[in-house]
Amino acid sequence: MTDDTDAAIVPDVGIHSSAVAVRSLSKAGVRPIVASNRQSSPALSSKYCAETIDVPDPHTSIDAYADSLLSLAERDDVRTILPLREADVYALSKNRPSFARHMTPVWPDFETLRTVQDRRTLLSVAQDLDIPTPSTRLLTAWPDGADRAVVKPRYSIVVDEVSSAAREPAVRVMDPHERPPVDEVVDEMGHVPVVQEYVPMAGEYGFFALMDRGDPVLTFQHRRVRSFTYDGGASVYRKSIDDPTLRAYGLRLLSALEWHGPAMVEFRRDRRDDTLKLMEINPRFWGSLALAVHAGADFPRHYVDLAVENTPGPEVESYEVGLGTHLLTGELAYLYTVFRGNQQTEPPPFIRELASVLWSVYRQPQFDLCSLRDPMPFVTTLRSLTKQATALVVDPVRSTDSPRES
């Protein structure tokens, strides 16, 4: 099914960013085609979803997934594909020459992508640019008796050479003087991971950009206020900011990489010396995309403009500072973890956090999914969260797991 209207492929990643992209593109006059391997998700339930295409799961076979995206790229109406997760940008960048025969790629070449997806290499590049980073070594070189640290996969995505299944290994926090079984961790992650010093947090910040071969087209910044759990995780409440140092570090790094496409540069403010320290780059669109769109930095629309026109013009710098947005189901998940108190650290007082959530929702009534004009994405996510919470009550063994982003 095609028509004369420009269309864009939106991968269904099962969370709110896909639905946000669908809404943004539709309002810009672009037909959003959702590529999905699931039966229910926020993006699929949006009234702005123009068409749905079944695709393989990239975590089962990223090669099959890339082939399906390439077949969609061959359609006359499809002008671009939005990378919303690591597997998306991996598939697009690895097969960039093939996609370039049918559309203008708005994503990096594979060599540049792998530099960013290799945390050890990325931090080395940042250090050469005088951007502060945490102390980072391979697990096999981490000294015994060290302070609290974090074991992270060296590569943000690992692809099995035989099955082409894509995996995104989890992060693991180590207490002081703890040293995990090296062979077991290497086997679990599929490579030798890195160990990073634990950075005592005085705030988490993101610099977001759409770049045109190293030049900024659109930039944005936010500060994370609350996450899915009181111990961390994906953000559920964040505010737009304008920090000159954050912008300088983010642009310096992306420009040096000659980055092309969207990226989130993630920083943590070190409580010990108040410096911003680079954590990683997400080489794609990000989960908190709704805040940027609400604040006036409509990244999906500008992304399509860059793909179609290939002449972005001067940088668009204006967006509303001080605006906050909530993922309401995420706020509920946050309160649930505070009430249960099953994380690695002592939870804050529940009544205080409940009051804080209610007050911030009252003061900043902007939401990622909740919309009277398009209510079903929120309803779909709420149903999923309810099922997860019910499962935790029915199965006490799972009560140690916090509700996850659906």
Which one, of 181, 198, 119, lies nearest residue 154 by Cα?
119
Burial 56-69 (b: 16+ CB within 10 A, else e): bebbebbbebbebb
**pLDDT for position 233:** 81
pTM, two decimals, is 0.91
| Residue 76: Cβ within 10 Å count | 9
- Residue 250 φ/ψ, nearest 5 degrees: -60, -45
| Residue 208: Cβ within 10 Å count | 24
**pLDDT for position 398:** 44
Which amino acid, one-letter code, is at 230? Y
**pLDDT for position 404:** 36
Assess contact for 241 and 292: CB atoms under 8 A.
Answer: no
- The beta-carbon contacts of 156-160 under 8 Å, at least 24 apart in sequence, are 156/86, 156/117, 156/119, 156/280, 156/282, 157/86, 157/87, 157/90, 157/117, 158/189, 158/190, 158/191, 159/62, 159/90, 160/190
**pLDDT for position 406:** 31
DSSP collapsed to 3 states, the chain: CCCCCCEEEEECCCCHHHHHHHHHHHHCCCEEEEEECCCCCHHHHCCCCCEEEECCCCCCCHHHHHHHHHHHHCCCCEEEECCCCHHHHHHHHHCHHHHHCCCCCCCCCHHHHHHHHEHHHHHHHHHHCCCCCCCEEEHHHCCCCCCCEEEECCECCEECCCCCCEECCCCEEECCCCCCCHHHHHHHHCCCCEEEECCCEEEEEEEEEEEECCEEEEEEEEEEEEEEECCEEEEEEEEECCCHHHHHHHHHHHHHCCCCEEEEEEEEEECCCCCEEEEEEECCCCCCHHHHHHHCCCHHHHHHHHHHHCCCCCCECCCCCCCEEECHHHHHHHHHHHHHCCCCCCCCCHHHHHHHHHHHHHHCCCECCCCCCCCHHHHHHHHHHHHHHHHHHHCHHHHHCCCCCC
Pull the structure tokens for residue 293. Answer: 């769109």
How far is the C-alpha of 151 from the C-alpha of 189, rounded, in Å? 11
| Residue 402: Cβ within 10 Å count | 20
Per CATH, the number for 7-108 is: 3.40.50.20
Q: For 167-188, what is each residue's pLDDT tens digit? A: 888 888 877 777 778 888 888 8
- The beta-carbon contacts of 240-246 under 8 Å, at least 24 apart in sequence, are 240/291, 240/292, 240/295, 240/319, 240/320, 240/321, 240/322, 240/323, 240/324, 241/205, 241/321, 241/322, 242/321, 243/205, 245/276, 246/205, 246/207, 246/221, 246/276
For the chain, residues with pLDDT lower than 50 are 1, 396-406
**pLDDT for position 375:** 93
| Spans of all domains in the chain | 7-108, 135-197
Question: Which residue bears the tokens 């960039």?
Answer: 96
**pLDDT for position 205:** 97
**pLDDT for position 31:** 97
**pLDDT for position 143:** 73
Tell me the sheet residues that pair with 221.
207
